[in-house]
Amino acid sequence: MAILKFRVYWEEDDAIYRDVLVKHTQSFISLHEIILKSFEFDQLHAATFYRSNDIWKRGREISKEVYEKEYVVPPLMMSETAIGTEIIDTNQHFIYVYDFAKTWTFLIELIQVIKNSDADLTLDYPMVSRTEGVGPMQYGSKGLLGKNFADIEEKYDLSEAKDGFGEEGEDAEGEDHEEDTDDDAADEEDTNASDDEGGSGNGGYLDDSFEAY
């Protein structure tokens, strides 16, 4: 038995990749599952591998299922095909496509073969051995927080607060408005008293000064 180390790149940015380890006797369904786990994707959609070469040309498919599309030759089945049987050279390439509607595409390269005598057989394969870069979000930015965001929404009731201030803010605004009305009434009373005592000139000046302030 040997352990195969694959480097799985996101097609759109080769600085984002995951190294995964699988036994050569494990099937492609195991490789499919560990790739999705390493990029934190779900496992709800269609998927297929293509045998490939150094220039990433697509060859025969190794598919999760037989889908309703045209095949040049019938695909191999992931669950029935051992990974080791498809290793033709020392830097074997595969292309992996997930969710045919969004066509998430990953480029896979064999980077190491670990012989049985050097392998740590106590580990649970398949497994992720290295993570580089922040992977793409499968369902957009909200998926970044996932369940945690739902918990925050429930705790702070964000759905009600999203349109503006809550009732407490409205009450406070109403109280401020009432205080302003009372102050204006008091000012008017003082102005009238000044008019009675010293004429309208000072009253007009006080009115202007309060309004400007």
pLDDT in tens, 85-108: 999 999 999 999 999 999 999 999
* pLDDT over 90 percentage in the chain: 60
pLDDT of 41 above 80: yes
The C-alpha angle 26, 31, 32, rounded to 5 degrees, equals: 130
d(CA 91, CA 93): 6
Axis-axis angle for helices 167-198, 200-212 (nearest 10):
160
Q: Within 13 Å and on the Cβ side, how many CA atoms surround 133?
A: 15
Q: Is the pLDDT of residue 204 over 90?
A: no
Q: Is the pLDDT at 54 greater than 80, yes or no? A: yes
- Across the strands, what pairs with 114? 3
Residue with tokens 């605004």: 173
- The residues near 137 (Cβ < 8 Å, ≥ 6 apart) are 143, 144
**Residue 132: CB atoms within 10 Å:** 13
CA separation for the pair 76, 79 (Å, rounded):
9
pTM: predicted TM-score of the whole model, two decimal places = 0.66
Q: Residue 159 pLDDT > 60, yes or no?
A: no
Give pLDDT, residue 162.
47
105: β partners? 97
Decide: 166 and 172 in contact? Cβ < 8 Å: no
Q: Judge whether residue 179 has pLDDT over 90.
A: no
Per-residue confidence (pLDDT) for residue 213, from 0 to 100: 30
Domain boundaries, the chain: 2-133, 167-212
Other Cβ atoms closer than 10 A to 110: 18
CATH class of the structural domain 2-133: alpha beta
pLDDT score for 119: 86
Average pLDDT over residues 26-51: 97
